[in-house]
Amino acid sequence: NAPTKGGTKMEERRYTTEQLESAETIMKMLAAVPKEKRAEVVKATNIFMAGMEAQRAIDEPAMA
């Protein structure tokens, strides 16, 4: 059975070595943040990443 999210099948994600190394770096940095501040850092990171995804979605049709 494939994992589901919201009743639909989720695609299996594959990550590059560079992406995994970046994730490891981020996790090390997050571990250095005091516990009481981690939620704020995670929230800010998620907002930043959502902005990057939105910009990519805007740019891709323009490049086609």
**pLDDT (tens digit, 0 to 9) for every residue of the chain, 64 residues total?**
455 555 566 678 899 999 999 999 999 999 999 999 999 999 999 999 999 999 999 998 877 6
d(CA 22, CA 29): 11
In this predicted structure, what is the pLDDT of residue 5?
Answer: 55
Classified as helix, coil or strand, 64 is coil
In this predicted structure, what is the pLDDT of residue 8?
Answer: 61
Question: How many C-beta atoms surround the C-beta of residue 30 within 10 A?
Answer: 13
